[in-house]
Amino acid sequence: MLDTSPSTRVNAVLSRLDEALVKGDIEGAVDLFATDCYWRDLVTLTWNLKTMEGRDEVRAMLQSQLARIAPRGFVQDATQAASEAGGVTDGWFDFETAHARGYGHIRIRDGRIWTLLTTMSELKGHEEPKGIRRPLGAEHGHDRDRKTWTEKRAQEARELGYETQPYVLVIGGGQGGIALGARLRQLGVPTIIIEKNARPGDSWRKRYKSLCLHDPVWYDHLPYIPFPENWPVFTPKDKVGDWLEMYTKVMELNYWSSTTCKSARFDEAAQEWVVTVEREGKEVVLRPKQLVLATGMSGKANVPTFAGQDVFKGEQQHSSQHPGPDAYAGRKVVVIGSNNSAHDICAALWEAGADVTMVQRSSTHIVRSDTLMDIGLGDLYSERAVAAGVTTRKADLIFASLPYRIMHEFQIPLYDRMRERDKDFYDKLEAAGFMLDWGDDGSGLFMKYLRRGSGYYIDVGACDLVIDGSIKLKSGSDVSHLTEDAVVLKDGTVLPADLVVYATGYGSMNGWAADLISREVADKVGKCWGLGSDTTKDPGPWEGEQRNMWKPTQQDNLWFHGGNLHQSRHYSQYLSLQLKARMEGLPTPVYGLQEVHHKG
């Protein structure tokens, strides 16, 4: 073969893969993979989010799934040129299965598949009504029983949950529930989203007033309606709230605000949930087939227990309850914690004229926002990426194509560059007594987020206040106890306080399952989030994917959805397709169901 352009190489491997899979030649297919290979499948072959690592795992998966799924038609995407860098050729492809159409990404090294990503785009016969399939809106012709769009929508809103039952109930109406709800509506899956607050977006509006998204706009788009090009880089919290509210309205979601879930149990006989909710003060019993907890991976406040909390006479708040600084000018505030919320709250309190002390109990990873935008996200999510033709969808898929097992290897060099660029800054922070880390293996912020969902601050200004002593820092000692008017550290330091803020993070989402369903179900499902990386707060064994997120769990018909706006956008696609397939009664043979190694 004389012509060895990247596209030719991609085409050759895809053709052979297609041929082997169509023939049922599993060994032939496995032979196309390198020894250290990764096949990440999002719902197409495995009806799961699953990464097969190494040829043996690829073989085992194909042995289980190949005949049932019938993948075929692997064809390079003619609109996306393949490319090569550093001995790795990468390209994009279309494919299909018996019931779905998919899209994928491939990396080839030494003529063999190094990484393969297969993702589901749509279910055959159940395509979304968009583009050429969009609804007509008007009903032309004449019909004496005509109901207008508005009348039909009002009827649906009135009857759903009372005269008719939703197929899916989503508990939690933040960005996660809303993005999922939007996709489910487009797929024609009757869905109710319940939310304890009065308006969509309130979970953002109610946070401390200086809060802005820490992720930039290119990373934050919702499905269907991207933010406009004049949208700010870091959206202020109330503006996120307003966007979510309008989105909920124009996407016509069945969104029950001011509604709380009182209890849920799975009726094995009927194979459906019995969920009691209180909607605007009235009890309603819902019987959805599927239950999604989208209560937020930062939803279940983690409040530490210290001796003396009962005798302390000032105010105590978890960071999620902190209203902002306005009432605390001239007051003494002790903030326990040193991650994002702690820094944001400390800075806002200092700006308002409070006397603020931050108690750093363990080391924290710090990255300056500008540096993170440039080095950490710039290739995928930035104006630069947009100008280079990297659409949001493409960026999401490129990111998804990196197997979790080796993702840190891609991340470490980026954080080495950040450390180098901002050396003076870090030196000053350490001189101020701040305990820094870069993750157990130096892989930085995003790996910390995926592994433990905590342990970092994206600096937007608070570090300078720590450096110059405006925010007082006590690091290296934990809290011993509280007195009537102070926090006492184990090293004996007494920190007088009118207010104590516990910026101590959040617990695993299966805590919600314990509260709403039962401890038994929560334990059966086990911990949510984390990769099993055997690093701090993410105990092994290795899972290969984030635990229990967006995929089947050990509890039938129970799902967890959440994460940042990027994840809410991207993974809602796969969760919505899994739910739709079940509603339509399509075969959904799950391969490699999540095992449970930790209870929460």
Find how far residue 296's CA is from the centre of its chain: 9
Of the candidates 279, 47, 290, 49, which has an alpha carbon nearest to the alpha carbon of residue 170?
290
In the beta sheet, which residues pair with residue 293?
Answer: 171, 560
CB 415 within 8 A of CB 444: yes
Closer CB to a copy of itself, 119 or 210, in the complex: 210
CB of 593 to a copy of itself, least distance (A): 33
Closer CB to a copy of itself, 131 or 281, in the complex: 131
CB 13 within 8 A of CB 29: no
Closer CB to a copy of itself, 249 or 423, in the complex: 249
CB of 239 to a copy of itself, least distance (A): 6
Closer CB to a copy of itself, 58 or 348, in the complex: 348
**Secondary structure class of 381 (helix, strand, coil):** coil
Q: Using CA atoms, how far apart are residues 84 and 82, in angstroms rounded to an integer?
A: 7
Closer CB to a copy of itself, 238 or 374, in the complex: 238
CB of 364 to a copy of itself, least distance (A): 18
Q: Using CA atoms, how far apart are residues 525 and 359, in angstroms rounded to an integer?
A: 34
Residue with tokens 């190494």: 54
Q: Which pairing describes strands 355-360 and 472-475: parallel, antiparallel, or unpaired?
A: parallel
What is the full DSSP assignment across 386-401?
Answer: HHTT--HHHHHHHHHT
Q: What are phi and psi of 575, to 5 degrees?
A: -65, -40
Task: List the structure tokens of 349.
Answer: 């309190």
Closer CB to a copy of itself, 97 or 369, in the complex: 369
CB of 123 to a copy of itself, least distance (A): 16
In the beta sheet, which residues pair with residue 274?
Answer: 265
Residue 236: DSSP 8-state: B
Helix (H), strand (E) counts: the chain: 18, 25
CB of 219 to a copy of itself, least distance (A): 13
CB of 46 to a copy of itself, least distance (A): 28
Closer CB to a copy of itself, 135 or 492, in the complex: 135
CB of 151 to a copy of itself, least distance (A): 8
What is the full DSSP assignment across 283-323?
Answer: EEEE--SEEEE-S-TT-SB-----BTTTT--SEEEEGGG--
Q: Using CA atoms, how far apart are residues 119 and 95, in angstroms rounded to an integer?
A: 9
Closer CB to a copy of itself, 181 or 314, in the complex: 181
CB of 231 to a copy of itself, least distance (A): 6
CB 591 within 8 A of CB 72: no
Q: Which residues bind a copy of itself (CB under 8 A)?
A: 128-132, 134-138, 140-144, 146, 148-151, 186, 209-210, 212-213, 217, 224-225, 228-239, 242-243, 245-247, 249-250, 347-348, 350-353, 369-370, 383, 386, 460-462, 464-465, 470
Compute how many other C-beta atoms are within 10 angstroms of the C-beta atom of residue 294.
31
Residue 360: DSSP 8-state: E
In the beta sheet, which residues pair with residue 348?
Answer: none
CB 360 within 8 A of CB 475: yes
Closer CB to a copy of itself, 347 or 402, in the complex: 347
CB of 131 to a copy of itself, least distance (A): 5
Closer CB to a copy of itself, 183 or 289, in the complex: 183
CB of 232 to a copy of itself, least distance (A): 3
Helix 404-421 and helix 423-431, axial crossing angle in degrees, nearest 10: 80
CB of 224 to a copy of itself, least distance (A): 4
Q: What Rg, from alpha-carbon coordinates, does the chain have?
A: 25
CB of 301 to a copy of itself, least distance (A): 23
Closer CB to a copy of itself, 36 or 351, in the complex: 351
- Give the containing element (helix H, strand E) for 120: strand 112-123
Closer CB to a copy of itself, 22 or 212, in the complex: 212
CB of 326 to a copy of itself, least distance (A): 10
Burial class (CB in 10 A: 0-12, 13-18, 19+), 112: middle
How many CA atoms lie within 13 Å of 265's alpha carbon, on the beta-carbon side? 5
Closer CB to a copy of itself, 3 or 143, in the complex: 143
- Give the containing element (helix H, strand E) for 249: helix 237-250
Q: Using CA atoms, how far apart are residues 489 and 473, in angstroms rounded to an integer?
A: 13
